[in-house]
Chains A and B, each alone.
Chain A
Amino acid sequence: MQKVRQIIITAVAASLCVGMTTACGSGSGSSDKNADGKVYYLNKKPEHAKYWEKLAKQFQKETGIETKITTSPNYDETLRSEIAKSDAPTMFQVDGPPNLEQWKKYGTDLSDTKGYKELTDSKLALKADDKPVALPFAIDAYGLIYNKSILNKYFKSSWASVKSVSKLNNFEALKTVADEVQKHKDDLGIKGAFTSAGMDDTSGYRFNYHLPSGPLFYEYKDNNWDMNTTVPAVKGTYAPNMKKIWDLYIHDSTVPVSAISGKSMSDATSEFALGEALFLQSGTWSYTDISGQSVEDSDIGVLPIYLDVKGEEEQGLNTVTSNYWVVNSKAPKANQKATKKFIDWLITSDAARTSISQDMGFLTPFKTFSDKKYAPKNPIYTEYTKLKKEGKYDVYGVCAVTPSHQWQKDLGNAMLNYAQGTGDWDAVQKVFSDDWAKEYNLVYKQ
């Protein structure tokens, strides 16, 4: 009797243990069920999750291919743990060449996809071992978003030295406007010329990632470097120009310099949306945050970020491509095939094109989106296309090839120290001239 009981107990205990281990590993057994393969897309942007999920459902309905979308706010962490699983994502995102460098082992040749063939410029795709492995799917444009009604009020003031927006086409004029607006902010009923240059994590990317794109663009241009590759070293020739605009941002601002370390993106957008500041350095993605409050859509304009560079009267907005699709080369072949089919569907089917251009509001680099009905309805894009039509040149998003996220952090820290007076500008210059090469070696040489 006792023996029997002992056996039962051990069996129960063992089954509990087994139950636990299988609970942890569930989901691994289902991968061979579907001969058509399946799609598992790890999406980076939570704000678009619901649209992706809708598209996945529709794709599954039309093709019968099992399609799953997972969205993670901690994208980098999630990707690292998901990719190690047996049921790994078949498709994921990278944000630029250095990020791809980390994941290139997982990149599949995408030259046979429509996604690649339909690119408006095939050079936009990122390559690993000379094969296109990462397809860009969204282009953002950014610059100095301004409030037209405040600016017009300024133009009409007796003390204003600049009288029309057409004259506001270089750094000198921008500085004049900013300084005068700041000086007369009470007359204009605002708190400052520029919204707070917040350096916390939600806002700092505007200054440690987007802002250096300008100086780097001109340095790349002078040297004829390929703007899609990270060069081993830069000099920071135009960093002094970046100092000029940074000085404007921090001094002609709604807040004292000592407060910017704690200011966030929502501080800046709300200052702009409530009409408390004239300028906001941001881009297309900010439209949803600034519209529908006290600033009318028709009052939203965008100026290029002038850096006091020769010929900048012809400069247009900055662009940046930091969203790429990669198909996981370590996924089963059938799944890779299904995923490529998914990508092709995304850029050719009417439902997907409408969702991507209208709901998510992306400007895409695909020929299949050339129809008017796929143009995003966003005043910032409208301004961008208007400037383009006037023949202004884009400031290409060289920030995407900065050697590492650490480089951006170093730059932001140095800029903040300079602003607060706890460091000097030499440290910022050094991030360009020294840290770039150091980070390049760490990322590409090991």
Chain B
Amino acid sequence: MISMAGKAVKRWWALFALPTFIAFIIGFIVPFLMGVYLSFTRFSTVTDSQWVGLRNYAAVFSDPDFIHALWYTVLFTIVTTVVVNVASFAIAYMLTRGIKGSNLFRSVFFMPNLIGGIVLGYIWLLLLNGVLQTWGKSITFSGTYGFWGMVLLVCWQQIGYMMIIYIAGIQTLPGDLIEAAAVDGANRWQTLSKVIIPLMMPSITVCTFLTVTNGFKMFDQNLALTNGAPSNSSELLALNIYRTFYGRAGFEGIGQAKAVVFFLIVAVIALVQNKITTSREVEA
């Protein structure tokens, strides 16, 4: 027998799904396919393009700035993924121990997330330049400065968000298992590493997925904080693509090709990461 809800869905699906579906096609599928097509052409406006085959892709891999941005992004993603996850897990763990005022702390840690990336970038630009002024330097002095500046910014922004996910995960942990571990004589570290973390794998999957993809896709903060300066040495992939597309006449196709390559990299990494962490999930 079909339930009431099932019946309603059968009757009304078009009303709810079609508009969104069409919006999805117009706003996502069509631009995506056009983007892939345009990556094989030379164009200055999207409606006026000439086919050039794989020439754009050849240019992508012979562009030293792109290769630099790729490694810079990989390194950035690794560092932020590790730091954000470890820190947010630690904070979540502390804030579920029944500390006084933990609700206040949770709100405070979450708050940076409410500010948009561009605004955050400019605020941190002021802060970091203010501090660096002591040594007569600025954040755009070298790519290394920019790197750690962005790491700091992103950690500050994302730790709170990931913390919320971890807190939710920790709160659903079955208490009896932890009690059983305590009865069996497990110490705190053993409880954490042998019981809590394996049970937390679903949250860890979600959080690493988010931090890895966020790291790869990061754009706003990079634009506002360093804008690639000096000499494109603090340029992450997304910004490199944007600046290739808009920065130079005749490079639109190459920018587009970079975007396709970028899509493939992010897709592959996200899938692999998801597979690895999901395979470690256990049932309580």
Contacts and interface: CB of A to CB of B under 8 A. Distances in A.
Contact of B248 (A21, A101, A256, A406): A406
Contacts of A17: 18-19, 22
B231 A417 contact: yes
B26 interface: yes
Contacts of B141: 258, 261-262, 420
B19 A16 contact: yes
Interface in B210-258: 227, 229-232, 246-250
Given A261-B138, A262-B129, A416 B45 contact: no
Contacts, number: 98
Interface string A255-275: 110110111000000000000
A405 B247 contact: yes
B148 to A, nearest CB: 15
A259 B230 contact: no
Nearest to A10: B14
Contacts of B231: 413, 416-417
Contacts of A2: 11
B36 to A, nearest CB: 18
A78 to B, nearest CB: 11
A138 interface: no
A6 B11 contact: yes
A16 B140 contact: no
Q: How large is the interface on B (under 10, 10 to 19, 20 to 34, 35 or more residues)?
A: 35 or more
A62 to B, nearest CB: 33
A20 B26 CA distance: 10
B58 interface: no
A256 B132 CA distance: 12
Instruction: Give the interface SS of chain A, mostly helix, strand, loop or mixed.
Output: helix
A102 B249 contact: yes
A359 interface: no
Contacts of B138: 258-259, 261-263
A416 B230 contact: yes
B280 interface: no
B44 A102 contact: yes
Interface residues of A, number: 45
Nearest to B232: A413
Given A76-B246, A259-B138, A84 B11 contact: no
Contacts of B139: 262
A192 to B, nearest CB: 13
B283 interface: no
B46 interface: yes
The residue among B46, B141, B142, B246 with the most chain A CB atoms within 10 A of its own CB is B141
Given A5-B11, A16-B18, A413 B136 contact: no
Interface string A62-84: 00000000000000110011011
A223 interface: no
A262 B44 contact: no
Contacts of B250: 102, 442-443, 446
17 contacts: A9-B12, A13-B14, A14-B18, A24-B26, A76-B246, A84-B48, A98-B249, A199-B230, A258-B135, A258-B137, A261-B138, A261-B141, A262-B141, A263-B138, A417-B231, A420-B142, A422-B230
Interface of B: 11-12, 14-15, 18-19, 22-23, 26, 42, 44-48, 129, 133, 135-142, 227, 229-232, 246-250
